[in-house]
C-alpha cells in the first residue's frame, strides 16, 4: 500500500506536502512531515535570493522512478538522490538515501532531511553546478541539517 501524508503550513508560509510513492523502504512519514515544516522555516530564514513557492510537494520515490526523471528531464542516465523542479516539486530517492546512510554512517532519516534541505535550497535559488556553488550549498546544508536534527 502506498501511503501519503502531508504537512499544512500557516497561511503566510508555504504549504509542504509529503507523498510516499515507493514501497521498497519503510519511512516515518510523521517525522518527515515535522522535519519538512521545520526545514521550510529554516530555509526561509536564511534566504535572500527568492521566496519558496506557495506549494511544495516532496515525493519519495524509488531509484527506478528517479532514474526515469533524471533521464527525461536532465538527459542523465541513472538514479540520483534528489531532483528539484522550480515550481516546487522535490523528488527524493529513498533507496539512494538508504544506501548513502549506510555508506556515510548516518541514518535514513538524516539522509532524507539532507535531501529535503538540498531541494529547498534549490527552490530559493542556490545551485551546485560549479565547484564554488556546490561548496556554498554544502556548507549551508550542513548548517541547516545540524539545526534541524538538534
> What is the domain-level CATH number for residue 44?
3.40.390.30
Cα angle for residues 89, 16, 101 (degrees, 5° grid): 70
| CB 15, CB 54: distance < 8 Å | yes
Measure the CA–CA gap between 59 and 147, rounded to whole angstroms.
Answer: 23
Say what the pTM is. Answer: 0.89
Q: What is the pLDDT of residues 23-44, one digit of tens each?
A: 999 999 999 999 999 999 999 9
Measure the CA–CA gap between 66 and 82, rounded to whole angstroms.
Answer: 8
Non-local CB neighbours of 14 within 8 Å, separated by 6+ positions: 40, 44, 52, 53, 54, 55, 56, 88
Non-local CB neighbours of 41 within 8 Å, separated by 6+ positions: 13
pLDDT at 19 over 80: yes
**How many domains does the chain contain in total?**
1
Q: What is the mean pLDDT of the chain?
A: 91
Q: How confident is the model at residue 149 (pLDDT cuts 50, 70, 90)?
A: confident
Measure the CA–CA gap between 150 and 112, rounded to whole angstroms.
Answer: 15
pLDDT at 4 over 90: no
| CB 5, CB 18: distance < 8 Å | yes
Q: What is the pLDDT of residues 69-113, one digit of tens each?
A: 999 999 999 999 999 999 999 999 999 999 999 999 999 999 999
- Which residues form the domain of 31? 4-149
Amino acid at each position: 500500500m502506498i501511503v501519503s501524508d502531508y504537512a499544512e503550513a500557516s497561511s503566510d508560509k508555504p504549504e509542504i506536502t509529503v507523498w510516499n510513492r515507493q514501497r521498497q523502504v519503510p519511512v516515518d512519514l510523521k517525522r518527515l512531515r515535522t522535519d519538512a515544516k521545520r526545514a521550510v522555516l529554516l530555509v526561509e530564514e536564511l534566504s535572500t535570493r527568492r521566496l519558496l513557492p506557495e506549494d511544495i510537494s516532496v515525493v519519495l520515490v524509488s531509484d527506478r522512478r528517479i532514474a526515469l526523471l533524471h533521464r527525461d528531464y536532465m538527459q542523465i542516465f541513472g538514479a540520483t538522490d534528489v531532483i528539484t523542479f522550480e515550481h516546487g516539486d522535490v523528488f527524493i530517492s529513498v533507496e539512494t538515501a538508504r544506501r548513502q546512510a549506510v555508506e556515510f554512517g548516518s541514518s535514513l532519516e538524516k539522509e532524507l532531511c539532507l535531501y529535503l534541505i538540498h531541494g529547498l535550497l534549490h527552490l530559493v535559488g542556490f545551485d551546485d553546478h560549479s565547484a564554488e556553488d556546490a561548496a556554498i550549498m554544502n556548507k549551508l546544508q550542513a548548517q541547516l541539517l545540524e539545526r534541524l536534527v538538534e
